[in-house]
Amino acid sequence: MSLARLSIKGISYSQTQNGAYALLLSDMDSNRQLPIVIGAFEAQSIAIALEKEIKPPRPLTHDLFKTFSDRFKITVKQVIIHKLVDGIFYSSLVCERDGIEETIDARTSDAIALALRFDAPIFTYKNILDKAGIYLKDKGESTDIYDSRNIEATEQKESTEETTTFKSEFSQMTTKKLNELLDKAVTDEDYERAAKIRDEISKRS
């Protein structure tokens, strides 16, 4: 299966799930976007990695992993989002040490936080994009990029898995209605809600 390379479009606050955020990945060869729900700690870590000039006073978990890997000459070569099951994205870290590659299972949010620190490319399979990707209307660069300086650095809540429970309201709706709601969620830049609706549509196909 062919791979599609992704870039990070931004991170927005979840409008429906307390303590969660929507990470928006963009296909570099098309206008398809892949929204993934992540926890507050992972959002903080990704945002700090995106804003290179911000250095936390103590290393975050992903920074510690990077330091550990550097010390033992382990490199993360790439991240692959390789599976989507019931709204949960599964990812792998492709690592290398002494010319030998190893593949390690990882949560998608952790994998992306590490990819940023290693300057490693992020990929997904095109069939996952076909199933879970959404098309954004052309609204310029108005995506709500998450500002890491607004994140509380201490007393973080336990991070959530990048999955959501499908609301009963969605299960009772027709596919046509769900597609209408999906378009509205995308227009409103509510990517976390769009991800929920998209996953409900995918379950029916």
Residue 201's pLDDT band (cuts 50, 70, 90): confident
The alpha carbon torsion through 175, 179, 184, 189 (nearest 10 deg) reads: 120
Quick one: pLDDT at residue 166?
Answer: 42
pLDDT at 141 over 70: no
Domains (range + CATH), the chain = 3-135 (3.10.690.10), 159-203 (no CATH)
Q: For the segment 162-200, what is each residue's pLDDT rounded down to a tens digit?
A: 333 444 577 788 888 888 888 887 777 676 677 778 878
- In the prediction, which pLDDT does 168 show? 54
pLDDT tens figures, 46-65: 988 988 766 778 888 999 99
Question: Could you tell me the two tokens for 1?
Answer: 């299966």
11 vs 151, more confident: 11
DSSP sequence for 79-144: EEEEEEETTEEEEEEEEEETTEEEEEEEEHHHHHHHHHHHT--EEEEHHHHHHH-EEPP---S---
Query: 143 or 58: which carries more pLDDT confidence?
Result: 58
Q: Does the pLDDT value for residue 145 go beyond 80?
A: no
The rounded mean pLDDT for the chain is 81
DSSP letter at 68?
A: H
Closest-CA residue to 91 (of 76, 78, 79, 77): 79
Lowest mean pLDDT among 16-30, 73-87, 132-146: 132-146
Distances from the Cα of 38 to the Cαs of 29, 30, 35, 67, in angstroms? Answer: 24, 23, 10, 24
Cα angle: 10, vertex 14, 114; to 5 degrees: 45
Give the rounded percent of residues in the chain with a pLDDT score beyond 90: 45
Q: What is the distance between the alpha carbons of residues 132 and 152, in angstroms, rounded to a whole number?
A: 31
Which residue is associated with the tokens 């804003």? Answer: 51
pLDDT the model gives residue 14: 67
**Residues 27 and 6: beta-carbon distance below 8 Å:** yes
Is 24 or 148 the better-scoring residue by pLDDT?
A: 24
DSSP state of 65: H
- Highest-confidence segment of 43-57, 101-115, 140-154: 101-115
Given a contact cutoff of 8 angstroms between Cβ atoms, the answer to whether 182 and 196 are in contact is no
**Which residue would you say has higher pLDDT here, 161 or 195?**
195
